[in-house]
């Protein structure tokens, strides 16, 4: 092969190589497949928390207001101006009736419910308690005294001391349950006025 044909062949190969290099360079610099077009780490395509214009984003469930306490009866009186609330009287399957509520000192000074232990000799050790409470079933014409154990301790709240001015404490007292046909009884303790309360059945 002559020198002239050899030079032409080399020039042709060089032109092809340059053209190929330019094509690869343009493809690498193009905007269609570069790294800048990829989503950045941490980005999200999900909608933001903002609602539509004019709409407020929900802030979760609002706390429910506390339920009102049930009051079956409220008595105020006696020599100490005490307030006694009965909030429940539940008959359970064991044949008992549990009465519960709150008592508040309205005397204006310290008050010790020593007289609430009752007059029974067996209950004399139950000082400052609900031991003197009783129920009267007018339908069955029967009076129910508070339950007690073999040592004379009442199945009831023992307050363990005097009430401060305006102090309020919860209490309970257990009695034998009246027959199921008796749905109301009168609750009484010490010199407080009696109050009619309705019996409910436990689950």
CATH number for the domain harbouring residue 96 = 2.60.40
In a domain, 47, yes or no: no
Q: For 147-185, how does the pLDDT look when each residue is reduced to its tens digit (9 = 90+)? A: 999 988 999 999 988 999 999 999 999 999 999 999 999
In a domain, 40, yes or no: no
Termini Cα distance of the chain: 113
Number of domains in the chain: 1
**Tell me, what's the pLDDT at 135?**
97
In a domain, 135, yes or no: yes
**Tell me, what's the pLDDT at 66?**
52
Q: For 90-110, how does the pLDDT look when each residue is reduced to its tens digit (9 = 90+)? A: 999 889 999 999 999 988 889
For residue 63, pLDDT over 60 is answered with no
Per-residue b/e over 106-121, b at no fewer than 16 CB within 10 Å? bbeeebebebbbbeee
Q: How many CB atoms lie within 10 A of CB 82?
A: 22
In a domain, 92, yes or no: yes
For residue 67, pLDDT over 90 is answered with no
Determine the Cα–Cα distance for residues 108 and 111; give it in Å rounded to an integer: 9
Q: Is 70 within 8 Å of 102 (Cβ atoms)?
A: no
In a domain, 89, yes or no: yes
In a domain, 20, yes or no: no
The range of the structural domain enclosing residue 101 comes to: 73-201
**Tell me, what's the pLDDT at 191?**
87
Residue where the block lists tokens 């049930």: 70
For residue 42, pLDDT over 50 is answered with no
For residue 23, pLDDT over 50 is answered with no
Residue 197: which pLDDT band, with cuts at 50, 70 and 90?
A: very high
Determine the Cα–Cα distance for residues 181 and 122; give it in Å rounded to an integer: 31
């Amino acid at each position: 092969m002559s020198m002239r044909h050899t030079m032409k062949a080399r020039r042709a190969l060089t032109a092809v190589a340059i053209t190929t290099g330019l094509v690869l360079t343009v493809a690498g610099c193009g905007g269609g497949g570069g790294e800048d077009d990829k989503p950045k780490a941490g980005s999200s395509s999900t909608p933001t928390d903002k609602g539509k214009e004019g709409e407020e984003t929900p802030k979760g469930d609002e706390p429910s207001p506390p339920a009102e306490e049930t009051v079956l009866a409220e008595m105020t009186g006696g020599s100490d101006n005490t307030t006694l609330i009965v909030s429940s009287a539940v008959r359970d399957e064991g044949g008992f009736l549990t009465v519960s509520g709150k008592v508040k000192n309205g005397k204006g000074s310290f008050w010790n419910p020593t007289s609430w232990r009752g007059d029974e000799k067996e209950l004399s050790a139950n000082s400052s308690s609900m031991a003197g409470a009783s129920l009267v079933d007018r339908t069955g014409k029967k009076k129910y005294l508070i339950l007690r154990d073999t040592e004379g301790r009442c199945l009831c709240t023992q307050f363990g001391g005097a009430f401060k001015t305006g102090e309020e404490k919860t209490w309970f007292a257990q009695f034998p349950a009246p027959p199921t046909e008796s749905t109301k009884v009168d609750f009484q303790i010490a010199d407080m006025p009696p109050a009619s309360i309705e019996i409910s059945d436990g689950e």
